[in-house]
Amino acid sequence: MALVKKFKVVPNLPEKIKSLIAIANNIWWIWNFEAIELFRRLDVDLWREVGHNPIKMLGSISQNLLDEAASSESFIAHMKKVEQELEWHLTRKTWCDVNKQGFENAGIAYFSAEFGIHECLPMYSGGLGVLAGDHLKSSSELGLPLIGVGLFYRLSYSHQYLNPDGWQQENFPEIDFYNMPARLVTVEGGEPLLISVEFPGRSVYARIWELAVGKIAVYLLDTNIDRNLKEDRAITDELYGGDMEMRIKQEILLGIGGVRALRALNRNITVYHMNEGHAAFLALERIRQTIEDHRLPVQEAYEFVAATNVFTTHTPVPAGNDRFPPEMIDTYFADYYKKLNLTREQFLGLGREDPKDNKEQFCMTVLAFKTAAGCNGVSKLHGRVSRGMWKRIWPSLPEHEIPIDHITNGVQTLYWTSDEMMRLFNRYLGPRWIDNPTDAGIWQNIDQIPDSELWRCRDRLRERLVSFARTKLKEQLLGRGHASKEAEIANSVLDPEALTIGFARRFVTYKRGTLILRDMEKFAALLHEKERPVQIIFAGKAHPRDTMGKELIRQIIHLCNNEHFRRKIVFLEDYDLNVARYLVQGVDVWLNTPIRPKEACGTSGMKVVPNGGINISVLDGWWDEAYNTNNGWAIGRREEYDDLTYQDEVESLFLYNILEKEVKPAFYTRGVDGLPREWLARMRESMKSITSRYNSNRMVKDYTEKFYKPGHKYFTELSVDDFKAVRQYASWKSATAERWKAVKVVNVDIAEEKEIKVGSRILVRAAVGLGELSADDVQVELYFGNLDRNGEIHEGVALPMSAGGKNDSGSYLFTGQMLCLQSGQFGFTVRVIPHHKLMARKFDPDLKITWA
């Protein structure tokens, strides 16, 4: 091919409205409805056509319309108002400014394989990415010193379309980076800033793109450059694309390349957050850099890195955790073994639950757990499930003490709340709700909104959803080859006044998208009752290689094509953030039917709440902790089944019963003024009990207090005086591990009788042999609780015992007290755990625990 000279064409705006470029280039506008309306005013049809991408719009719009806008005093005033709001957002005093004590000079790097920020940036596949996007938005709202790190994919994640039989097909349109709100990072002279990562026999280079999300910078790596081999240019082609080898290449680029990019950008980072195991290789690069920069031995570098890493696991499904065969790790990391001064077995052990099992594959989730002091699941139930899944990493601990905490996910309220409901909140809650959505007291003012206004708002949102669904369905039918006359059926589907249920998820078997269809006779009766009709809107994609998920979609499409159901059921193709907004804002009921406990969190149900939608869900994920009997409906009572067919039968009947006996009567029983009082009461309770708690501002505050601030504290304490503290700690840990075999609980006794009265305190004495260790090297704990049917202590409580002197045999004496607050059969024991004031985690997977 002939030599191609490259140049970039940028929008040419009249001087008076050039501020539009600055507004468009900061993705803050996506959660400010005044900013969105500003772009819509230019050309509402073009706004839809360009996928709500303001950069593309400004480069495509006619000069006449731009000139008209520049000559409109109203438009100029609107633009200046938005400009001022953006400036205020970037400069105002934030929550982090007020709570910065002990957090000065902090910097957090948030690594994620996907970011679901907005539909004009299709770099996400589902809930993980959307959660990451909301994490960025709320970090900006709170003023957190956070930076996002990810990959910039050349191809959009799969766009879904269905053939006439309802079978999902996919295409992967190419993303035009130069028509995105993204900036290529360059060096002096205008050339792209490049970083490199070593692959077998070669280096792979990546350029860096920057997105501005309010106050937050997001850096995305892109290998599609001439300097790379063709196979390496494809590394950033597609999110989760290709085979296992492509997956490891992407994860090396994300983890190792991401750390190198932050260094090349000269960004000050004190805490690294791995959002899922895809980014876990960052720990290895951090260890390598620490060894190289500060001449630390590997163990000292490891302790420093682990103390300042955070890891969030998102999946309770084993298949969702990436594992690589040892031979593949050898191929890509043989040189790393040497750089880290580790043997092959030591290196592979970092990614194995049992480091001694040479047949075990290398797991990214295990690597992340072992190299992060702060670890969490994404709901209370998911934390419990994760502790059960990964207990082999800490084999001597009771399951409930496995050091995997939980921080329940949340959603960014401003982004997901409809304009209509926002205006209602502004009138009755006051403007403070925007700045402080976590204040439960503010949300109590929901009761001040008149029933008539609240219901009128719900009616408008449902009507808008129905209008959107009809338009989209017509496009789908024409796209599948239906004649224009046949496609006209779309104009009469759905009823703007009928009870509307929404189900939109990734179509995978455990989410049970067709559970409501299990008994077609009951389902038909539910939908077709003349006085109390019900309708349902489905959306969602199956993974391109998930044939079972595609079959579920095909079943729904066949039902949609059935004359008996076609006006009651609609499937919206190509589920994305735009479709999601219409759905969560417009449906009356959000349906969620996973197999408990396989839903880690499931944030989509949170998004309907500020819009007046109500949840019906299995008690799984976030709903397990949010449901209070009056703020929605629960399917089942936390049962977990071995027979999944039986479970489907039981829970589908439960669902039909709820819909027929509770949901429909509440929705359709109206007062003389036409208002459903019982329904409105449940709507209010849902808003008051859920919105303040299940939003991402609260979530990011939790991460800051639980993990980011402690991680920054350890970074500061361990790195001062040429890493003197971490050197001391690593030396202590090595010596303690070596001497631990001599630790033994020699004797335990109590003075009291075996039958103790409620309210009594029991004194326990223990003699502990410590060998060459001292009492300062350990924490001796009294561990007690109820006994289960096997005579084991069930989820016991640990209390520290006080050290005394030594006895005649040289054992250390410890004493502790138990307070007996209730009757029953109890048991206790004593354990010894290594302890040092600089330990970032109480239970280090490298150190043993001795039980009596």
Of 7-21, 403-417, 524-538, minimum mean pLDDT range: 7-21
Q: Which residues contact 161 (CB under 8 A, 6 or more apart)?
A: 168, 169, 170, 171, 476, 479, 573, 574
The predicted structure's pLDDT at residue 754: 62
Cβ(365)–Cβ(390) below 8 Å: yes
Closest CA to 285 of 255, 316, 312, 251: 255
The predicted structure's pLDDT at residue 412: 96
Is the pLDDT reported for residue 117 higher than 80?
yes
Element (H, E) at 652: helix 644-658
Q: Where are the beta strands (DSSP E) in 787-846?
A: 797-800, 802-806, 812-819, 826-834
**692-727 pLDDT, tens per residue?**
999 999 999 999 999 999 999 999 999 999 999 999
Q: From the DSSP assignment, how many helices (H) and strands (E) are in the chain?
A: 33, 28
Cα dihedral 315, 320, 322, 325 sign: positive
User: What are 808's two structure tokens?
Assistant: 């005649």
* Number of neighbouring beta carbons within 10 Å of residue 159: 16
**What Cα–Cα distance (Å) separates residue 823 from each residue in 20, 78, 506, 782?**
70, 69, 48, 19
Distance in angstroms (rounded) separating the CA atoms of residues 140 and 32: 13
pLDDT over 70, % of the chain: 98
Distance in angstroms (rounded) separating the CA atoms of residues 531 and 709: 57
The predicted structure's pLDDT at residue 630: 97
The predicted structure's pLDDT at residue 319: 78
Is the pLDDT reported for residue 8 higher than 90?
no
Q: SS3 breakdown of the chain: % helix, strand, coil, rounded to 5? A: 45, 20, 35
237-248: average pLDDT: 93
Secondary structure, 3-state, 92-133: CCCHHHHCCCCCCCCCEEEEECCECCCCCCCECCCHHHHHHH
Element (H, E) at 170: strand 168-171
Task: Kindly indicate the confidence band of residue 4, based on its pLDDT and cuts at 50, 70 and 90.
Answer: low
Helix (H, G, I), strand (E, B) or coil at 569: strand
**303-360 pLDDT, tens per residue?**
999 999 999 999 988 878 999 999 999 999 999 999 999 999 999 999 999 999 999 9
**Residue ranges of the alpha helices (H) in 295-379?**
298-307, 326-339, 344-349, 364-370
Q: How many residues does the chain have?
A: 852
Of 62-66, 361-365, 430-434, minimum mean pLDDT range: 430-434
Half-sphere exposure of 564 (CA within 13 A, CB side): 11
**Residue ranges of the alpha helices (H) in 234-295?**
244-252, 258-264, 281-294
User: What are 588's two structure tokens?
Assistant: 């009356």
Q: What b/e string do you get for 373-387 counting C-beta neighbours within 10 Å, with b at 16 or more?
A: bbbbbbbbbbbbbbb
The predicted structure's pLDDT at residue 5: 58
Residue holding tokens 């990734």?
506
Task: Kindly indicate the confidence band of residue 265, based on its pLDDT and cuts at 50, 70 and 90.
Answer: very high
Closest CA to 135 of 780, 649, 708, 843: 708
pLDDT over 90, % of the chain: 87
Q: Average pLDDT, whole number, for the chain?
A: 94
Side by side, which strands form the sheet with 850-851? 797-800, 778-786, 826-834, 850-851
**What pTM value is reported for the model?**
0.95
Distance in angstroms (rounded) separating the CA atoms of residues 236 and 152: 6
Distance in angstroms (rounded) separating the CA atoms of residues 257 and 220: 10
Q: Could you give the dihedral angle defined by the CA atoms of residues 22, 25, 26 and 29, in that order, rounded to the nearest 10 degrees?
A: 90
User: What are 166's two structure tokens?
Assistant: 């309802």
482-486: average pLDDT: 85
Phi-psi region of 201 (alpha: psi -120 to 50; beta: other; left: phi over 0): left
At 374, phi and psi to the nearest 5? -105, 115
Rg (CA), the chain: 29
**Residue ranges of the alpha helices (H) in 502-576?**
520-528, 547-560
Please indicate whether residue 454 or residue 792 has the higher confidence score (pLDDT): 454
Distance in angstroms (rounded) separating the CA atoms of residues 570 and 583: 12
The predicted structure's pLDDT at residue 92: 94
**410-444 pLDDT, tens per residue?**
999 999 999 999 999 999 998 889 989 999 999 99
**72-88 pLDDT, tens per residue?**
999 999 999 999 999 99
Is the pLDDT reported for residue 3 higher than 70?
no
**What Cα–Cα distance (Å) separates residue 513 from each residue in 503, 519, 556, 639, 834?**
7, 14, 9, 19, 49
Residue holding tokens 């009755």?
428
Task: Kindly indicate the confidence band of residue 242, based on its pLDDT and cuts at 50, 70 and 90.
Answer: confident
**740-776 pLDDT, tens per residue?**
999 999 999 886 666 777 777 888 999 999 999 999 9
The predicted structure's pLDDT at residue 305: 98
End-to-end Cα spacing for the chain = 76
User: What are 739's two structure tokens?
Assistant: 């001497």
Secondary structure, 3-state, 20-57: HHHHHHEHHHHHCHHHHHHHHHHCHHHHHHCCCCHHHH
User: What are 511's two structure tokens?
Assistant: 């989410």
At 368, phi and psi to the nearest 5? -65, -45
Half-sphere exposure of 330 (CA within 13 A, CB side): 6
**What Cα–Cα distance (Å) separates residue 308 from each residue in 136, 373, 405, 708, 793?**
20, 7, 16, 8, 34
Task: Kindly indicate the confidence band of residue 157, based on its pLDDT and cuts at 50, 70 and 90.
Answer: confident
Cβ(767)–Cβ(746) below 8 Å: yes
The predicted structure's pLDDT at residue 756: 78
User: What are 834's two structure tokens?
Assistant: 């290594």
597: cis peptide before it, omega within 30°? Answer: yes
The predicted structure's pLDDT at residue 795: 87
Task: Kindly indicate the confidence band of residue 790, based on its pLDDT and cuts at 50, 70 and 90.
Answer: confident
Which DSSP category does 611 fall into?
G
Is the pLDDT reported for residue 627 higher than 80?
yes
